[in-house]
């Protein structure tokens, strides 16, 4: 959880509209190397949009985003490289259904990083081992549980050797008994020093892995604090109201 030096990701004064809807309002956020930031907040607040702007799945209307000191590329090769440097894991696992788990994990390294197939397979097996599903390598996604599929999706993202991992509600589509196995993989990753931005309402994860909680509502960062502070003494009415709702259910 320690981090140092220049921040890896910096958003300055970022604004984003969908038509008339102002979905990101003057967002300022810097994420240090090795830092884990949990983003939390009500539905429609802009959490997914924020993640998507960081790997440029969405463009921004004004402001600036840098990764490793460089502005996000607009297009072409540089953009492809950015996508490989920023791993993303979604709520829906987004694995290729007609490819085995091993093929899902080796595809990017072979195609984008030009890693020889045998080496890619070796690395993929090590990653599958790390997320606890090496025995499932030859199966197709539909033959795996949701938790196993999500761990495969994490392994696939890691295979690109990303500098940053974005997680957008990675456990919210999972049955409760599978949530823990995915959070455990994420907690290990955090401990190993991966820089992570994680949209989640899992307070246990936030408390054990995050250095900072960012509370977003209506396109703004309303509150930023340590997990401990945020969950025990939220400063704003908005955050208190949100927490009372998620704690109740
Ligand atoms: N492609 C799009 N076109 C138009 N509006 C969009 C688009 N994507 C998101 N929005 C709108 O932008 C706002 C922010 O959406 P976003 O998905 O970022 O919120 P969120 O905080 O991730 O919500 P949730 O907790 O429900 O996932 C919402 O009002 C949403 O309806
Ligand atoms: Mg979302």
Query: pLDDT tens-digit profile of 147-159?
Result: 999 999 999 999 9
Q: What angle do CA 85, 87, 93 make, to 5 degrees?
A: 155
The model scores a pTM over 0.85: yes
**% of residues, the chain, pLDDT over 90:** 85
Which pLDDT score is estimated for 183? 96
217-231 pLDDT, tens digit each? 999 999 999 999 999
Q: What is the pLDDT of residues 132-147, one digit of tens each?
A: 999 999 999 999 999 9
Mean confidence (pLDDT) of the chain: 94
Residue 78 binned pLDDT confidence (cut-offs 50, 70, 90): confident
Q: Would you state the pLDDT for residue 210?
A: 95
Q: What's the whole-number mean pLDDT along residues 189-200?
A: 97
Please report which confidence band the pLDDT of residue 14 belongs to, taking 50, 70 and 90 as the band edges. very high
CA of 78 to the centre of ligand 2 (A): 26
Residue 248 confidence (pLDDT): 72
Q: 148: CA distance to ligand 1 center in Å?
A: 27
Atom of ligand 1 at shortest range from CA of 46? 18
Q: Which residue has the tokens 């694995």?
A: 95
Which residues surround ligand 1 with Cβ inside 6 Å?
A: 18, 21, 23, 43-49
- Using the predicted structure, report yes or no on whether residue 3 has a pLDDT greater than 60: no
Alpha helices in the chain (DSSP H): 47-54, 76-85, 101-111, 117-130, 146-158, 176-191, 203-209, 227-232, 237-248
The per-residue pLDDT for 1 is 44
């Amino acid at each position: 959880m320690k981090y140092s030096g220049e921040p890896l990701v910096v958003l300055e004064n970022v604004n984003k509209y969908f038509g008339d809807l102002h979905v990101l309002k003057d967002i300022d956020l810097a994420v240090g190397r090795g830092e884990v930031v949990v983003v939390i907040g009500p539905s429609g607040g802009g959490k997914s949009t924020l993640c998507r702007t960081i790997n440029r799945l969405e463009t921004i209307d004004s402001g600036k985003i840098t990764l490793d000191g460089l502005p996000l590329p607009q297009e072409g090769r540089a953009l492809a490289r950015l996508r490989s440097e920023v791993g993303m894991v979604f709520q829906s696992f987004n694995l290729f259904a007609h490819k085995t788990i091993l093929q899902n994990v080796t595809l990017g390294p072979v195609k984008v990083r030009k890693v020889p197939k045998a080496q890619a397979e070796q690395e993929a097996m090590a990653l599958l081992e790390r997320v606890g599903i090496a025995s499932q390598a030859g199966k197709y996604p539909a033959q795996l549980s949701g938790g196993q599929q999500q761990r495969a999706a994490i392994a696939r993202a890691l295979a690109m050797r990303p500098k940053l991992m974005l997680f957008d509600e990675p456990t919210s589509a999972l049955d409760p008994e599978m949530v823990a196995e995915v959070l455990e993989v994420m907690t290990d990753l955090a401990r190993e020093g991966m820089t992570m931005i994680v949209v989640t309402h899992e307070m246990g994860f936030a408390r054990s892995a995050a250095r900072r909680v960012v509370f977003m509502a209506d396109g703004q960062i309303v509150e930023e604090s340590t997990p401990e502070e945020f969950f025990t003494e939220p400063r704003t009415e908005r955050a208190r109201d949100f927490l009372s709702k998620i704690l109740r259910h």
